[in-house]
Amino acid sequence: MTDLETRVVPPHAPLLRRAAPALLGYAAVRALGLVALAVWSAARGKSAHTLLTARWDSLWYTRVAELGYGYEVRLPNGDVHSNLAFFPLLPWLERLLHAVTPLSYADAGLVVSLLASLAAACGIFAVAERVYGARVGICAVLLWAVLPVGIVQSMAYSESLFTALAAWSLYAVLAGRWVSAGALAALAGLTRPVGAAVVAAVWTAGVVSFVRERSAARAQGAHEEGHAPVWRRALGMLLAPLGAAAYVLWVGHRTGKGPLGYLDVQAGWRNGFDGGYAFARFVAAKFTSIPSALAGVGLITGVALLIWLYVICVRQRQPVALLVYTGVVLALALCASSYFGSKPRLLMPAFPVLLPLARALARPRTSRSVLVTAALAVVSAVYGAFWLNGSGPP
C-alpha cells in the first residue's frame, strides 16, 4: 500500500470519505471543462448554457418531461423521429425536480446530470477500489473525467445517469448485494437501451456464482448453502431486466406493433444493429482524400485501442461482471448502424476499459500522475469546448 493510500484512504473509513480525493479531482476537471466552454462560447457569441441544456438529445428529453410521449418529426425522406426512442427515467427526474423547485425542465435536466455525474464518479471509484485498490480507483475516476468527450458528463443527457446506475449495480454484484444489483440494473434499463449490458452482467455473474458454489459444494461433499442467499440472488436476477422490458413492452403496446415495436421506432431514426457493417463502410468512405483519410486512420486507431484495452482487461482477469458489461457496451456502440458521430459518447459508460490505464497511471509517483492528469484535463477541456461549439454530440 502506498503512503498516499495510507494517509488519505484509511482502510475502514466510510466509502464516501475514501472516495473524496477522487470526487474532488473529478469536480475540478469538470469545472475546468465548463470554464473553457464558457470562455470559448462567449468568444463565438454563443451561450454555453444553451449548448449544455437545449441542443440535440437534451431537447427531446425536455419535451418528454414537459409534454409526455407522442411527439414525432416526419422528415422529407419518410423517416419518422419519435420521442418514444428516448427512455423515460431522465425525463421523469426532470419533471420531478421541476415540480419541487423553480427550475425549468431544461435546467432540471442539467442539475440531474451534474449530480448523476458525481454519483457515477463515486461508483467508478467504488468498483475500481474493490478490484484494484484506492489509488487505482482515484486514477480511474480522473481518466473518466478527462475523456475527450467528457463535457457530455455535464450536459442534460442521460450518459451520466446511466453510468451512475451501471457502476453502482456492478459494485453491488461485486459486493454480493444481489437485490440492490438487480434493482439498479432495472433503473439502468429505464435510462438507455444499453441497459441490456447491465442486465447481462448481473445475469452472467449470477449464473457463474451458482455454478461455482454448486461445484464447490459437490467437491467438498457438502450440502447446498442456505436458501436465503440463493433466493436473494435469484430475486436480483429477476429484477434486473424489468425496467427495460417494461418500457419496451409499453412502447409496443402504444404503437400497436407488439413486443418489437421499439425496434420499429429505432428504425424510424435509421438506427439498428448490423454487426458494424455500416460503421465499417463509413470508415472506408473516409479514404477518398488525404484530409479525410487522416480521420479514417484516427477512427481505426481508436477502435483498435478500445479492442486492445478490452483484451488487456480479459488478460488481467477482471471480474466476469465487468467483462460482460464492457463487452456488451462496446458491441452495441460500435455495431450500431447509424449516428456515427455519437459513438464517442455512446462508449463513455464503458468505464471498466479504463482500468488498465488507471493501473498504469497509479504506478508512478503521485506528482507525476498529477502532472499527467492535469495535462489531459487541459486538453479535454479545450477539445470539449471546441467540439460542443462545433459538430458536438448528436
Domain extent listing, the chain: 3-388
Q: What is the pLDDT of residues 4-47, one digit of tens each?
A: 443 445 656 788 899 999 999 999 999 999 999 999 999 999 99
Contact 170, 321 (CB under 8 A): yes
With CA atoms as reference, report the closest residue to 176 among 228, 218, 216.
Answer: 228
Other CB atoms within 10 Å distance of the CB of residue 107? 20
Contact 145, 45 (CB under 8 A): no
d(CA 336, CA 301): 18
With CA atoms as reference, report the closest residue to 83 among 60, 104, 100.
Answer: 60
Mark out the alpha helices in the chain (DSSP H runs): 3-8, 15-43, 48-53, 57-67, 89-100, 105-132, 134-145, 159-174, 178-189, 195-220, 227-239, 242-255, 261-268, 277-284, 290-315, 320-334, 343-346, 355-362, 366-388
d(CA 118, CA 161): 10
The model's pTM is 0.93
d(CA 31, CA 377): 10
In the numeric block, which cell numbers belong to residue 392? 458536438
How is 109-177 classified by DSSP, letter by letter?
A: HHHHHHHHHHHHHHHHHHHHHHHH-HHHHHHHHHHHHTSTTGGGGGSSSSHHHHHHHHHHHHHHHHTT-
Torsion of CA 79, 80, 83, 85, to 10 degrees: -60
Per-position pLDDT tens, the chain of length 394? 344 443 445 656 788 899 999 999 999 999 999 999 999 999 999 999 999 998 889 999 999 999 999 999 998 888 889 999 999 999 999 999 999 999 999 999 999 999 999 999 999 999 999 999 999 999 999 999 999 999 999 999 999 999 999 999 999 999 999 999 999 999 999 999 999 999 999 999 999 998 887 776 666 655 444 444 788 999 999 999 999 999 999 999 999 888 889 999 998 888 888 787 778 888 888 788 777 788 788 888 989 999 999 999 999 999 999 999 999 999 999 988 877 778 889 999 999 999 999 999 999 888 898 999 999 999 999 999 999 998 777 6
Q: At what angle do helices 57-67 and 105-132 cross, to 10 degrees?
A: 120
With CA atoms as reference, report the closest residue to 169 among 200, 146, 138, 215.
Answer: 200
Task: Name the one residue in this structure whose C-alpha cell is 407488439.
Answer: 258
Measure CA 314 to chain center. 20
pLDDT at 310: 97
